[in-house]
Amino acid sequence: MAAKPSSSSTSAYSEGSIRVLKGLEPVKQRPGMYTRTDNPLHILQEVVDNAADEALAGYGKKIKLTLHADHSVSVEDDGRGIPYGMHPEENAPVIELVFTRLHAGGKFDKGQGGAYSFSGGLHGVGVSVTNALSTRMEVTSYRDGNSARLVFAGGDVAEPLQVQPLASGERKRGTTVRVWPDAKYFETAQLPMGELVHLLRSKAVLMPGVTVTLVNEKTRETQTWQYKGGLRDYLQQNLHGEPAIPMFEGEGFADRHNDSFAEGEGAAWCVAFTEDGAAVRESYVNLIPTTAGGTHESGLRDGLFQAVKSFIELHSLLPKGVKLMPDDVFARASYVLNAKVLDPQFQGQIKERLNSRDAVRLVSGFVRPILELWLNQHVEWGKKLAELAIKAAQSRQKAGQKVEKRKGSGVAVLPGKLTDCESRDTAHNEVFLVEGDSAGGSAKMGRDKETQAVLPLRGKVLNTWEVDRDRLFANNEIHDISVAIGVDPHGPNDAPDLSGLRYGKVCILSDADVDGSHIQVLLLTLFFRHFPKLVEAGHIHVALPPLYRVDIPARAKKPAAKVYALDDNELAAILDKCAKDGVAREKCQVSRFKGLGEMNAEQLWDTTLNPDTRRLLPVQLLNLDFAGAEGVITKLMGKGEAAARRELMELHGDAVEVDI
C-alpha cells in the first residue's frame, strides 16, 4: 500500500509555486499601487486626461462627461479618435492595446513621430488601469469616416472590434469611452462631486476656448464651463480677499534657440497678493492637477522671491536687522500655475507632485525677469508688495525671539558636535541627523547656515524598542539627539512639553544603501517608541539621497549635464531619455555613490539639502492607527519576534530587493 503523502509535501515550495502576473493582473491584485482606491474618481480622471491631451494638442474643442442613471460614466471628446488599425508589431488593433497593456500609449515618443509633444505623464498605465478596475467598458472611436467599437469586461475583450462606416453626410470624429467602475476595488462607489466639478472646471481654465460639460442624468442638471480669459478669470472668481496690488499675470516658453530647455517648455501663471483671507493655490503640469505641488511651485516661489528681493535691494527698502526669506514673500500669494514640461517625473503613479528637478529653474527663469520688469515699471505697487513681505519677515523674527526667551532658562548644554543654525524660527529650522563624520562634514559645508543644523551620529544607533525610557540617556547618541531637538522622551499617552522644540523638521539623512536603511529604521524606531508626539505632529522626515550620478555629455545645443538618480528605476528612465535625445548609453558615465561621504558639499546641497530640489518624505502612519503600527514594528524590531519575522520573510521575501 502506497504511503499517504504528508501535508508538508503537498504544499511543497517548487518551480510551480512561482506565479507570474500577466497583462492587467497586477492592477487587480494591487490596485493601490496604480491608482487611488478611496473612490473611482481617479480612474475616470485618466479618461478625462486623454480627452484633454487631444485638446491641448489642438485637435479638440469639446469635452463632455455624463453621469448615467446606471452608475456608469461616459467621457466624449471631438479629437482625432484613437487609431484602430493593426499595430505593426503586436498583431492586435491599436485601440485594444491602449486599454489592455500597462505600458502602451501615444505619449512615449516625444518629438519624432509621437502623438503628443506635451502630455500628463510617462507611466503609460493610464486607461488600462481604468479598464482593469471596471466591470465593463465600451470604447467607440470616430475617425476616417468610420466608427470603431470595442467592449471590455473586467479588463478583457468581451466584444471584438467592429468597424462600420458612418451614415452618409455624418462627419463625426473623436472618442467616446463609457465606464462601469467595479465597486469591489473601491472603499466607496460614490463619486465626490466637489472634486469632479473642480477637475472639469480646471480643464476649462487651462484651455481657454475649450468647452467642458458635465451632465447628470439622475438630477437632469447640466453644467458647462468655458473661460475665454483663462487663469485671471478663474483666480478672480476664487479669491477670498481683495488683492493688495493688481494681479501679476504672465507666461514664458522656451523657443528653439534655448540651450537648456526644449521648445515649448515653460509656464503660464497668475498671482494675486492679498492682505487677509485664505490663499488660493492651484498648480498643474500639462493639465494634470498637482495637488501636492512640486518643483514647478518651488520655481514660482523662487522667481517671486528673487524678483521682490532685488527690487527691495535696488530701492534700499529693507530695515536694519531684518532678513527676508522666501516664505515672507510667498505667505500672502494666491496663484494658478500651469507648467509645460516635456518629460514630467511625478512622485507616485497618481501624479500628485511634480519631481522634475529642472522645473525649478524652468519656472523661476521665466517668472523672475517678468516680475522684476513689472515692479520697476510700477514702483508704487512694488513698494506696497515690499511692505507686505517686510511686515511678514518682522512678525516671523519677533515670534522666533519670543520662543527663545521662554525656553532660555535651565536648558541643557547643547552637544558639542551639533553645528547649529543661525535662525531661531522653529517653523523654518531643520536639523539633519547625519550618518558618519565625513558626511557630517559635507553637510556642514553645503547646508544653508541660516536655517539648517547638522548633528553627525557615530556608528549605529541602539535598537530602543525594548529599552526603558529612564535608561535611554545611558546612550550618548540618543542623549545628544534629545537635547539637540529640545524635547524629552515620552509615551503615546503623555502630554510632553513641545514648546522647547528647536526645529520644525527633524530629518534622518543616511546613505542610500542597506546600512543606511538600517540606520533609518533604528532612528524611526527611536522616534516612534520614545518621541511619538513628534511623529504625530509631522516633525519627523526622511531625506532621500541619490544612489547614482549620471554625467551626460554635451549634445546639439544642450550643454553637458550632471543628473542624479534615486534608484535603479530612475537610472533606467534617465538613460532612456538620453537615448531618445540621441546620446548613446555608453557615452553617459554612471557613478554609484558608496555613501554620503563621497559627495562634496555642493552635490549634497543640490541633491539632498536644497528645499527646492531635494526629496524629503514626511513620516506618517497612513492607514494604520497607533496600535496597528505598534504591532507591525514589534514584529520587526522586538527581541523575541524572530519567528514572526521569519514568517514575514517567507510571505513577502520575494517582494524585497536585496542590495549586496
Q: Which of 251, 263, 515, 567 is catalytic?
A: 515
Is 194 annotated to bind a ligand? Reply is: no
Question: Is 121 labeled as ligand-binding?
Answer: yes
H-helix or E-strand spanning residue 454: strand 452-457
Report the C-alpha gap between 428 and 504 in whole angstroms: 6
Question: Exactly one of 328, 343, 358, 511 is catalytic; which is it?
Answer: 511
> Annotated catalytic residue: which of 513, 567, 630, 641?
513
Would the annotation count 123 as a binding residue?
Answer: yes
**Residue 532, all three cell numbers:** 511619538
**Is 515 a known active-site residue?**
yes
Out of 435, 477, 488, 606, pick the active-site residue: 435
Strands 156-165 and 548-552, by their bridges, are unpaired
Instruction: Answer yes or no: 302 catalytic.
Output: no
**Alpha helix (H) residue ranges in 59-121:** 94-100
End-to-end Cα spacing for the chain: 50
Residue 187 is placed in which grid cell?
Answer: 472603499
- Measured CA to CA, the distance from residue 632 to residue 621 in angstroms comes to 11
b/e per residue, 121-145, with b = 16+ CB within 10 A? bbbbbbbbbbbbbbebbbbbbbbee
Is 639 annotated as contributing to ligand binding?
A: no
Q: How far apart are CA 270 and CA 337, in angstroms?
A: 7
34 is in an annotated binding site: no
Q: Does 410 count as an annotated binding residue?
A: no
Is 653 a known ligand-binding residue? Answer: no
Is 124 marked as binding a ligand? yes
Query: 120 with 289: CB under 8 angstroms?
Result: no
94 among annotated binding-site residues? no
Helical spans, DSSP H, in 146-294: 193-206, 230-238
Q: Residue 408 annotated as binding?
A: no
d(Cα 450, Cα 428) in Å, to the nearest integer? 9
CA–CA separation, 360 and 304 (whole Å): 12
Cβ pair 124, 103 in contact under 8 A: yes
351 appears as a binding residue in the annotation = yes
CA-angle at 612, arms to 508 and 239, nearest 5°: 120
Q: Do residues 508 and 520 make contact, with C-beta atoms less than 8 angstroms apart?
A: yes
Binding-site sequence positions: 13, 50, 77, 121-127, 351
Residue ranges at the known binding site for ATP:
13, 50, 77, 121-127, 351
* Residues designated as active site: 435, 511, 513, 515
